[in-house]
Structure formats: C-alpha cells, structure tokens
Amino acid sequence: MNLTGNTIFITGGGSGIGRGLAEALHKLGNQVIISGRRAERLQATIDANPGMRAVALDITDPADIKAVAARLIADHPGLNVLINNAGIMLPDGADGPVDDELLSATVETNLLGPVRMTSALIEHLKTRDGAVVANVTSVLGFVPMAIAAVYSATKAALHSYTLSQRYLLRDSKVSVIEIAPPWVRTELMNSSEEARAMPLEAFIAGAIEQLGTDANEILVGPAVSMRANPGPGEHAWVNEFNDMMAAG
C-alpha cells in the first residue's frame, strides 16, 4: 500500500485503533475521512488533526451506509482506500442463552457492516489506482476468547470473507488487506490500562510499517504466533489462552 497521497475512509475512526490509524495516516500526507456514531468523538479527533474530516455513520444501518457511500464518492472522488475498522466487543455467554440484542448488534457491526460498506464502495474503488480495502479483524478470529464467543466468531468470519474477497479481486486495481490486531490497549473490554495488552502506539507504529509493504496480512507482535495457531492441534492453545484470561 502506498502510504501517502491517498484519500482514506476509516469506519470507527473516533477512538482506539481506528483513531490511531487515522492520525498516523493523516500525518503521512493522506486525506483522511473518519466515521462513527459518537459525534463528540469524531469532533474531538478532527479538532486534534486539522484537515481531517468526519461523517456520522451508523454501520448497522444499510440505508445509512448507502447514503454515506454516495456522499463520499461525490465529495471525495479520489477516494481509494477503505479501512473497515468499526467494531464492538461485549462478553456474551456461549455456555447458556445468548442475549439476542447483543448477538444481533455484534454481527451487524462486525461482519455485516464491513461487507455492506465495501459493497457500497467497491465499484468506485475498482476505478482508482492504488485502491485498497483493509478489513480489521482480530487474533481472536484464530484463537477465540470464550467469554466473547460471538465477537471472536465475527472476526473469524470476516477473515474468511477477506480471503474470498482478495481472490475475487486479484485481477483488479483493488488490493485486499487484513489487519489482525493482538490485544491492544483500547476501550474494548476495558483494556485501556491492561498491562498484558500491547500499547496502542506500538501497535499503530508496527501496523503502519507493514502497511507500507506488499503484505496482505498485518500482524504485529503477539499476532504472529496467534495467527499460526489454527490446525489439528489448535484446541490446546485455545484452552491455555482462555485459562490465562480467566486467571486474570
């Protein structure tokens, strides 16, 4: 991916990894447009980064996605990079009845949102040089966290979708990248001060460095070994990981 001269749209860009990526890419000379549902977060981010722009978006609303995509294409015809970052993570309880509202919100946000957002922009992106679709998944798509089983499952599904998308777009102008963060210090699951999690600044620095290469999977720090886990013996590490999490 070219790291400068792009017009980049980032969903969920008002906090956490989304904001970190937005600010880093903004500093590199890209036109960055962020989106989210919390207007105050968006405003704080663009106030701190003059020249960055924001648009309100409910990633769970198909009509809103179509409307925002149309506005982006009209207002920013040079748009050539989409980073599907918006996501929610809530503890569920796969060992009993799962709250249906939680289930629907997680699937709508983490899986259907990126699919719908890409669908709304893909024909435009196919016309742009250096076009990129980057899907932010998680190492929990490879080594699931049992207490957030639905979240982990949506990230595994988005990983699978990304593989198919990359194959189908292999002869187009669009490169498809997967960013699979490890545990990072963000607001997800109250991890902002979690000592076991990777500092956000360190993750962003590593991710940006890899984005500047031809890599189609961005794996920083602990993500490398967790990405390698799936296979016939994967249950041992899944059990070990979840035992560690349960022990605090």
Question: Does 2 reside within a domain?
Answer: no
Residue 168 is assigned to a structural domain of this protein: yes
Q: Please indicate, yes or no, if residue 117 is contained in any of the structural domains.
A: yes
Confidence of residue 144 (pLDDT cuts 50, 70, 90): very high
Per-residue pLDDT at 66? 98
Q: Tell me: pLDDT of 191 over 90.
A: no
Q: What is the pTM of this model?
A: 0.95
DSSP-based three-state secondary structure for 217: strand
Residue 103 lies in a domain: yes
The residues annotated with a catalytic role in the active site are 151
What does the mean pLDDT of the chain come to? 96
Q: What domain count does the chain have?
A: 1
Residue 173 located in a structural domain: yes
How far apart CA 100 and CA 107 sit, in angstroms, is: 11
Strands 81-84 and 131-136: parallel
pLDDT digits (tens, 9 = 90+) for 63-72: 999 999 999 9
Segment among 68-77, 193-202, 208-217 with least mean pLDDT: 193-202
Confidence band for 229, pLDDT divided at 50, 70 and 90: confident
158 burial (CB, 10 Å; 0-12 / 13-18 / 19+) is buried
In one letter, which amino acid is 114?
A: P
User: Does the residue 176 lie in any domain?
Assistant: yes
Backbone dihedral angles phi then psi of residue 213, each to the nearest 5 degrees: -110, -170
Which two three-digit tokens encode residue 171? 């002869």
- Which tokens in the block code for residue 188? 């997800």
- Asked whether residue 208 is assigned to any structural domain, the reply reads yes
Domain of 37, in residue numbers: 7-247
CATH of the domain at 122: 3.40.50.720
In a domain, 1, yes or no: no
